[in-house]
Structure 1
Amino acid sequence: MDSCFYVSLFSILLFCHVAALFTYSVSSMKPSCHDYESSALLQFKDSIIVDYRSFNCYISAHSKIESWKLVPGQRGDCCSWEGVECDVESSHVIGIDLSSSCLTGSINSNSTLFHLVHLQSLNLAYNNFSYSQIPSQVGLLSSLTRLNLSFSSFSGQIPRQIFNLSSLISLDLSDYDYVGSHGLKLQKPGLKDLVQRLPNLKELHLSAVNISSGVPVLLSNVSSLESLRLDSCGLHGKFPMSIFQLPNIKMLDLSFNVLLEGYLPNFQSGSPLKSLRLSSTKFVGELPSSIGNLAYLEELVISRCNFTGELPSSIGKLVHLKELDISYCNFRGQLPTSFGKLVHLEQLHISYCKLTGKLHSSIGNFVHLKELEISYCNFLGQIPSSFGNLTKLSVIDLGHNQLTGPIPSSLGNLTQLEYINLRTNQLSGQIPFQIFNLKSLSLLLLSSNELHGSIPSNFSQLNNLQVLDLCSNKLVGSMELIAFFQLKNLWTLTLSFNNLSLFTKGSTNSTIPNFSVLGLAACNLSEIPSFLQNQSQLLFLDLSSNNVQGRIPSWMYNVSTNTLDYLNLSNNLLTGFQQDPVVFQWAQIRTLDLRSNLLQGSLPLPPSSTTSYLISHNRLVGEVSPLLCNLSALETLDLSFNNLSGELPHYFGNFSDSLSLLDLRRNNFNGSIPSTWSDGCKLRMISISYNQLQGQVPRSFVKCSSLELVDFGNNHITDSFPSWLGDLAELRILILRSNKFYGVIEKPQTMGFPNLRIIDLSHNGFSGKLPSLYFEIWNTMKTVNSNHMEYMGRSARPSKYYVFTHYGHYDYSMAIYNKGLELEYAKIPDIFTAIEFSYNKFEGEIPDIIGKFEGLYLLNLSNNFLIGHIPSTLANLKALECLDLSQNKLSGQLPPELTYLTYLSSFNVSYNQLEGPIPRGKQFDTFDSNQYEGNKGLCGAPLKKKCENFESSPPHFSTCARDEDTGSLFKFNWLIVSMGYGSGLIIGVVAGNEVTRRKHDLFMKILGRKQQRRRNRN
């Protein structure tokens, strides 16, 4: 037993001796820093500043340089310092990594950092060197193989001395996406010089360096190149195709070079390319089928290019793809079925494309997907329930498509979802309650669909919800608004334009979150909610289209006085203001909409920050205060349909550099039209009809080159035809009706209104012949385009706006006469064309060229002194619905070809000198005798006079002709529009038989009475 003890003791001693020898051996292998290098590093540390508040310093960051210090009584060993690497054999410092170390200031040219001549790697990335220049002494570090100065706020020209570092295999001088005076430049010398002098590069990263040149073909000779990042460099010209064929290239980023042109080559098999980024360049063409040869590709980002055609089925071969972004391209067709093979995708972005078809249920196989964005396309059908398999998904954006059917309840399985956007589709059914179990959800956007039913009661469980957008659906129910106040993080709530009834009586200030966006339009509110008194951060507030009555409370002026940008109280029953005089306190407000109320008294003055002031359709009286001229940023001013009086303020012309829309219709203004419009005038629409204005049309309007609509109708203007307005290339509507214009319309001396679509010169004193030379120029009336109908106007959303808000659209409007009735067009279709020359002194014949106006909808030449025959070429006006030639001196027979006008719903040739048989068939079988009276020589139905003296009757056409027989592209007829701000109702009356015609006439009479009642009220 004693022997065993001694053996054990010997073993222990032997182990300790071996361990000591090993420790000594390891310590002897550890490099020991040279004194001059240690001293150089410490001096560099003393010359630089560590600032943890710097913008490039992360919250959790620490500075590696803080560990650089001498231990008292010991020799300084810099090889043990953080971020310092030494060579094992020589003990020289060969690597410094101070990335993300919160360094600030600048590096001087005499910095001791450049004494470390053995350095092979230098990394100073993600610091802040205050836009100082890169010291040229960096060229002294001749052993460098890796240099990384990226994202550290250097500026100026990259020193040519860097090109002396011929051993470099990695160079990264990237900066943030900013090309400007503060960034780095590579110009003289340029990129070509760099490539020539550094032939061994494997990595060349110059993101956001201002290069501003073409890409040298010489780059394709750098066969060692593996990673090339030249994004946001101001590159232009054609990109050399041969660079795609570099044998070792794995990463190629050319994004955000908006002038760089190119197209994709035929990729060869075996290419090592893993990442290809071409976003926001001028690359064109189709995606080649050889894209499938990039077997190692993980990132394909080609958004905002000009790619066209269909996606090749070979894209399904990219089985390693993790990120795919083809947004903002012109791809068409459907997603290929092979698309479902991309099972490793983590990010999928397909937005603003022309792709259509149904969403593949195979997308449910993308179990690694984190972001799914397929928006602003034309996808149809239902959302596949298989999307519920995407359990890693944090973002799903299917907004602005044509998706139908219910929202799959399986989305409730996606517990990591933070963002759901399904707005602006045609989704129906109820909101599945399962969605409101997603505890991580912060944004839920379901607006502009056809969802019905009530809002699920468990929405209050979404404690992280920040944005809830449910507006413009068919949701029903009565709710206490306080229920939404349980969501403490909620800052955007939009419930507008449903069938909801909201109650605010139970609101308590202690439970109300601070809102930024609040949309409660058309929620059956009977008062302005009192909880708004304590809201201090509102940016957007919409209480329009409710039943709010009485006066606006004085406390309302103090709501969010420093932040409010948009306030809409339109379409209520408000009668005035509690505080008089009205002094609005909102310092930042841009849009103030008080339209369609019962406001009385004088015109209140909005704050000077206002850009859109809308207060039409009220009962305001008195003159416009000269203080209104203080609104120097005013872009839209709508005072129409009030009882304002006095002279029109001439300072309106001083708004030339800002004012875009000016609507002063149906007031009692007098005096002359403001004439101080200046160069650079931004006016797009001016409507001052139905006032008492006199004088001439100011010639300074010719400076308003953006004008699209000019309406001076129903005033007392005395002037000749303002032919000089023909220089306004954008002008589409010109209304001079019911004034005192006079004289002959001379031949055009200018461009002659090249884009004119609607002209109304009726009820004036124009004389001479019809202006045939102008008719030659008006080409927009000669084409029919009914494939895509929009309304004239502009978006009411300002240039800088807040997300999740609904500013609507400001629609142009006008009044026009037909059949003795005034029709108010609250929205003007951009395909609508009209010539209204009635009640003048025009003479001579109707020119044949009018027959070329195939897009014309209304032609009224009545109550003039026209002679001669009715041109048979009028039969070419296939879209024509209203033709009035009455009260002239026209002679001859009615052309039987007019029966081809199958959309003609209003026709009048009464009180002329026509003779012969009235054509039969189609629309002519629906007109009554009033349309023909006063022509003693006419005969045949519907007149009682028979055609006994004529050898033959005109041909009878079947009333069952198909649309394709007529050649007409129009699918709508009498278009009467009534709308609110941002929404509209279109009533089309198709005249095809007597019953329909009578309904049409009755509708016109009812509309006329409504217009008269409205005028009486105002």
Structure 2
Amino acid sequence: MIGFSLKCQEHKRSLMACHAACEPVLCHEDESSALLQFKQNFVINKFASEYFPSHPKTVSWIPKTDCCSWDGVECDDQTGHVIGLDLSNSQLYGSIGSNSSLFHLSQLQRLNLSHNHFNYSQIPSTLAHLSRLTHLDLSYSMFSGEIPKEISQLSKLLILNFCCNYVPSFPVINLLQLKQQSFISFIQNLTNIKRFSLSFVSISSPIPNILTNLSSLQHLGLYSTGVYGEFPIGMFHLPNLKWLIVGLNQDLTGYLPGSIGNLTSLEGLHLRQCRFSGSIPSSLGNLTKLQYLALSNKFHGEIPHSIFSLDNLRTLCLAENLFEGQLELNSFFNLKRIEYLYLSHINLSLLTKTISSNASVPRNIRVLDLFACNINEFPKILKYQNQLEILDLSQNKMHGTLPSWIWRKKNLWELILSNNLLTGEISPMMCNLKSLEFIDFSFNNISGRIPPCLGTFSENLHTPNSKNNKIPGIIPQEFMKACSLKMIDFSQNNLQGQLPKALANCRLLEYLDVSNNQISDSFPFWLGTLPQLKVLILRSNKFSGVISSPRNSTFCKMHIIDLSQNDFSGKFPLELMQNWDSMRASNVNDIKYEALYHYFKDQGINESKCEGDKAPTSATDEDEDEDSWFPFEFDWKVNVIGYGGGLVFGIAMGITYNWEKHALLWLIRVHRRVVRRY
């Protein structure tokens, strides 16, 4: 009995131990409190993560619940300490202070704050207190300023990502900076780093040779960092390298050694828009895992045929090189998985040959850029590319009419055929492409009419451009109420008739250019109701009559309006210009306008010189009668142009003396009057 009793007690203890082991360990109260306090520093704003699928993870962070169950929080199964925090794409808007409660999570190993908006705040140097970190991702998070050198003290880091903190302007503005000495410190201290991304961080220094000592490195991102000088050749000897991204560094020089063929783990090589030169080694064909290859530089010689055997390649960019000779376009279609192919300005002639209808070619192409490739005919091999989304064949020598099968590409949303020798018509079959957003036929010899369905076939179309052709007839008269058109350029054709009043349905329209046609109409005041219209070019037509505009037609966003070389009569109404706030500058010296101003400046004419030639002698000279300050009747062909916050009036008087200098003086005077009046 005693033995049986002891066995029962042991069994009971065993069950209790098992129960204790199986029972989940709860989050530590102090860490739960730290997370809740951290949450209070932010507001949820879906625009903080607008470019990627997102949801507000911190909504699940509720007091008096186990923080280990919260969205984005990872705890150690044994200790209950928070060891991982993934708040990527969480719609967080705010900033992280140097004394943030985040830094109380002393056991944290993984921290991902990517794809949020930290309001251009600085990265706190106290991140270095999280000494156990192995993963730190601050990409796409709108941090700015100097990257703290202290972060290089996190010697356990395996992944460090500062990528893509930039303002998406043109050109892109990098928000983060890294000093050269800090760059070296990161490399010296992070000896086990596997993924190191500094893309879009302003570094502006040579790449230290000690980078080649990082034998564990798998991913290096230095895209658009301003690094310069000779690229360390030893980088092509790193045995574990999978991705090397150093594009858009225009002062970075180097070459591709034959030994690059030994990087058999390489999956991506991005050297676009640097100054690498020499020939492309045929050993690239050994990189059988390669999926992405971008080599837009100054490479010369021939394209090695070994590239065409890279069966895993999905993206190939060879644009803007100095290759020689001729090459069959079909060669690129030997790449079994190719989806994105960029060959613009390849400097050799791409030959297109007829292929049989039963030809076995890959049909994966989604984006094809053949800009300026000396192509003489529409490539017939494209007939079989039914996945095509973007096609650019501009600035070639293609002639004849468009093949009818191009209008059966149901996925096509961008078609660019400008600057060729194409003839014939724009087929009404175009209206079968419901996904079409951008289409450009400009600078060809197309003589057929614009398809009547242009304004009604798609809610996606936003930019049709048929500038500089021989298109006759009238502009289509119907435009749907859900019209998405933002830019229309029908200039330099043979169009007649009137502007269609249905254009008033295009509430998103920003740019309308119908110049150099034969359109006969009165001033289209009804366009003034369009809330986004910024540019209106009616030059060189047969518009006539007095310009008037009802009060509800204000052209409230107008930046540029060109009415020259028409048959308008009377004076330009002052009350219409009073509504053009977008043309008004807050600083009288801030006169910014497009080609006209820059043309004058290029001629050596500047404001001080013009002002000195004929300065006003009294206040009366500048403050003339309201009826006389705009002195030109429309038989002088007045051209009103405003741009970028300034208001100016260009004149085209059709006279031969040097009027540019006098015009610029007048522009400045009128600008100053407008600023004072309004």
- Corresponding residue for residue 185 of structure 2: 193
Is residue 340–residue 360 contact of structure 1 (8 Å, CA) maintained in 2? no
- Corresponding residue for residue 348 of structure 1: 341
Is residue 481–residue 507 contact of structure 1 (8 Å, CA) maintained in 2? no
> Aligned AA for 2:295?
I
- Corresponding residue for residue 124 of structure 2: 135
1:99 to 78, 88, 107: 88
Is residue 487–residue 509 contact of structure 2 (8 Å, CA) maintained in 1? yes
1:501, 1:359 → 2: CA distance? 39
In the alignment, structure 1 residue 309 sits paired with structure 2 residue 301: yes
2:488 to 486, 493, 503: 493
User: What are the residue-to-residue correspondences of 1:238-637 with 2, within 5 Å?
Assistant: 238-266=230-258, 267-269=260-262, 271-303=264-296, 305-336=297-328, 338-359=331-352, 365-375=361-371, 377-459=372-454, 460-476=456-472, 478-479=473-474, 481-484=476-479, 488-503=483-498, 507=501, 515-528=509-522, 530=524, 532=526, 534-536=528-530, 537-548=532-543, 551-555=545-549, 561-572=555-566, 574=567, 576-577=569-570, 587=580, 635-636=599-600
Is residue 450–residue 475 contact of structure 2 (8 Å, CA) maintained in 1? no
Residues 461 and 317 of structure 1, relative CA distance in 2, 3 Å threshold: same
Displacement of 1:343: 3.1
Secondary structure (helix, strand or coil) at the match of 2:471 reads strand
2:438, 2:213 → 1: CA distance? 50
Displacement of 1:426: 0.6
Displacement of 1:259: 2.1
Displacement of 1:253: 0.8
- Corresponding residue for residue 655 of structure 1: 607
- Corresponding residue for residue 144 of structure 1: 133
Displacement of 1:26: 10
Q: Name the stretch that deviates more: 534-543 or 383-392.
A: 534-543
2:163, 2:52 → 1: CA distance? 23
User: What are the residue-to-residue correspondences of 1:137-176 with 2, within 5 Å?
Assistant: 137-176=126-165
Secondary structure (helix, strand or coil) at the match of 1:354 reads coil
Residues 60 and 655 of structure 1, relative CA distance in 2, 3 Å threshold: same
1:798-839 deviations in whole A, cap 9, x for unaligned?
9989xxxxxxxx9xx999xxxxxxxxxxxxxxxxxxxxxxxx
Is residue 166–residue 175 contact of structure 2 (8 Å, CA) maintained in 1? no
1:620-665 deviations in whole A, cap 9, x for unaligned?
xxxxxxxxxxxxx574499xxxxxxxxxxxxx96536899xxxxxx
Secondary structure (helix, strand or coil) at the match of 2:59 reads helix
Secondary structure (helix, strand or coil) at the match of 1:483 reads coil
1:373-414 deviations in whole A, cap 9, x for unaligned?
222x14222212432322222211212221112212111221
In the alignment, structure 1 residue 62 sits paired with structure 2 residue 55: yes
Is residue 299–residue 321 contact of structure 1 (8 Å, CA) maintained in 2? yes
Greater C-alpha Rg: 1
User: What are the residue-to-residue correspondences of 1:15-94 with 2, within 5 Å?
Assistant: 28=22, 30-46=24-40, 48-52=41-45, 55-56=48-49, 61-71=54-64, 76-94=65-83
> Aligned AA for 2:445?
E
Residues 654 and 117 of structure 1, relative CA distance in 2, 3 Å threshold: closer
1:81-100 deviations in whole A, cap 9, x for unaligned?
21111222333322111222
Is residue 485–residue 506 contact of structure 2 (8 Å, CA) maintained in 1? no
> Aligned AA for 2:25?
P
> Aligned AA for 1:403?
M
Q: Name the stretch that deviates more: 491-500 or 218-227.
A: 491-500
Residues 338 and 539 of structure 1, relative CA distance in 2, 3 Å threshold: same
Residues 581 and 107 of structure 1, relative CA distance in 2, 3 Å threshold: closer
Residues 237 and 557 of structure 1, relative CA distance in 2, 3 Å threshold: farther
Displacement of 1:415: 0.8
Structure 1, gaps ≥5 residues long: 1-20, 591-606, 614-632, 639-651, 660-672, 677-796, 802-809, 816-1018
Is residue 406–residue 429 contact of structure 1 (8 Å, CA) maintained in 2? yes
Q: What is the Cα-based RMSD across aligned positions, in Å?
A: 4.1
1:222 to 189, 200, 214: 214
Higher helix share: 2
Is residue 261–residue 282 contact of structure 1 (8 Å, CA) maintained in 2? yes
> Aligned AA for 2:298?
N
1:534, 1:636 → 2: CA distance? 30
Residues 489 and 330 of structure 1, relative CA distance in 2, 3 Å threshold: same
2:63, 2:311 → 1: CA distance? 54
1:486, 1:130 → 2: CA distance? 38
1:193-219 deviations in whole A, cap 9, x for unaligned?
222211111111122223332212222
User: What are the residue-to-residue correspondences of 1:955-970 with 2, within 5 Å?
Assistant: none
> Aligned AA for 1:655?
E
Residues 508 and 227 of structure 1, relative CA distance in 2, 3 Å threshold: closer
- Corresponding residue for residue 597 of structure 1: none
Is residue 364–residue 387 contact of structure 1 (8 Å, CA) maintained in 2? no
Residues 341 and 534 of structure 1, relative CA distance in 2, 3 Å threshold: same
Q: Which has the higher contact order (CA 8 A, sep 6+)?
A: 2
1:728-760 deviations in whole A, cap 9, x for unaligned?
xxxxxxxxxxxxxxxxxxxxxxxxxxxxxxxxx
- Corresponding residue for residue 114 of structure 2: 125
Is residue 308–residue 332 contact of structure 1 (8 Å, CA) maintained in 2? yes
- Corresponding residue for residue 11 of structure 2: none
Is residue 475–residue 495 contact of structure 2 (8 Å, CA) maintained in 1? no
> Aligned AA for 2:127?
V
Residues 290 and 577 of structure 1, relative CA distance in 2, 3 Å threshold: farther
User: What are the residue-to-residue correspondences of 1:684-763 with 2, within 5 Å?
Assistant: none
- Corresponding residue for residue 235 of structure 1: 227
The TM-score normalised by the length of structure 2 is: 0.76
> Aligned AA for 1:252?
L
> Aligned AA for 1:401?
N
1:410, 1:116 → 2: CA distance? 61
Residues 147 and 675 of structure 1, relative CA distance in 2, 3 Å threshold: same
2:111, 2:508 → 1: CA distance? 49
Structure 2, gaps ≥5 residues long: 1-14, 584-589, 616-640, 646-651, 658-678
1:181, 1:407 → 2: CA distance? 41
Q: Name the stretch that deviates more: 522-531 or 180-189.
A: 180-189
> Aligned AA for 1:221?
N
Residues 97 and 26 of structure 1, relative CA distance in 2, 3 Å threshold: farther
Displacement of 1:483: 3.4
Secondary structure (helix, strand or coil) at the match of 2:442 reads coil
Is residue 611–residue 636 contact of structure 1 (8 Å, CA) maintained in 2? no
2:598, 2:63 → 1: CA distance? 66
User: What are the residue-to-residue correspondences of 1:850-929 with 2, within 5 Å?
Assistant: none
